[in-house]
């Protein structure tokens, strides 16, 4: 093998790599927050809302979970402008990832909600709580604790899947890698470096989520 490795050629593009990492982190963090809110609302609709709202939530979840994310992104970025709704590439990426994560997290949260014993829910009602109070103070914390590992795994997968938004021109890490590759023609070096960066990001996310679990669910102060 006579290939001449030149990782030093990437140093000239370190600003682009940093920009890509920062946008990937920002996009992932915003998507996690928005997707989690969507997931909680949709899960609540699927488990306790009246029939029409439950049907709407079910259609949303099944539609998103059974269609490719790439198609969803293309509909938002290329399709919606036909209806007068235009988004920048980064806005379309945030919207598409959030809608996608919301559907998957809704199913995970719904499983957690259904794992809470009915006797505890009945006890909440017996204490005079309304449906919202029972959901907030009795169900939600226990549900999140039971599904936290699965939910955070979905968040990490979302961060890795964010690379797909490069197809609509969002300037995240993979898009920057493609740009650098087109300038340097050092594909092996570029994508090896990107692989290492994604691995580091994954380890950082796992550490952060582990710290949150320890502080919120393990060492939660007594009230």
128: left (phi over 0), alpha (psi -120 to 50) or beta: left
Alpha carbon of 162 to those of 26, 85, 137, 151: distances in Å? 11, 22, 33, 17
Q: Which percentage of the chain shows pLDDT scores above 70? A: 98
> Looking at residue 31, what is its pLDDT?
96
Q: Which residues of 31-41 are buried (b: 16+ CB within 10 A; e: fewer)?
A: bbebbbebbbe
pLDDT digits (tens, 9 = 90+) for 51-68: 889 999 999 999 999 999
For 9-218, which CATH superfamily applies? Answer: MetI-like (1.10.3720.10)
pLDDT digits (tens, 9 = 90+) for 167-182: 999 989 999 999 999 9
- pTM score: 0.88
Local confidence band at 71 (pLDDT 50, 70, 90 cut-offs): very high
> Looking at residue 220, what is its pLDDT?
62
How far is it, in rounded angstroms, from Cα 223 to Cα 220? 9
What is the radius of gyration, based on Cα positions, of the chain? 21
CB 31 within 8 A of CB 164: no
Name the residue among 155, 167, 170 with its Cα closest to residue 202.
155
């Amino acid at each position: 093998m006579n290939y001449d490795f030149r990782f030093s050629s990437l140093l000239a593009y370190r600003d682009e790599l940093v920009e890509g990492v920062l946008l990937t982190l920002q996009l992932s963090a915003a998507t996690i927050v928005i997707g989690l809110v969507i997931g909680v609302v949709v899960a609540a609709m699927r488990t306790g809302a009246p029939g029409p709202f439950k049907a709407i939530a079910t259609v949303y979840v099944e539609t998103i979970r059974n269609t490719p994310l790439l198609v969803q992104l293309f509909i938002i970025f290329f399709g919606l402008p036909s209806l007068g709704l235009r988004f920048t590439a980064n806005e379309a990426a945030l919207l598409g990832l959030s809608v996608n994560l919301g559907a998957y997290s809704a199913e995970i949260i719904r499983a957690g909600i259904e794992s809470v014993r009915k006797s505890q829910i009945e006890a909440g009602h017996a204490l005079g709580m309304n449906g919202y109070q029972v959901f907030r103070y009795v169900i939600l914390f226990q549900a999140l604790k039971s599904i936290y590992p699965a939910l955070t795994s979905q968040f990490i997968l979302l961060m890795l899947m964010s690379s797909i938004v490069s197809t609509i021109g969002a300037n995240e890490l993979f898009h920057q890698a493609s740009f650098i590759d087109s300038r340097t023609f050092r594909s092996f070096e570029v994508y090896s470096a990107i692989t290492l960066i994604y691995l580091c990001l994954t380890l950082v996310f796992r550490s952060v989520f582990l710290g949150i679990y320890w502080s919120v669910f393990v060492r939660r102060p007594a009230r």
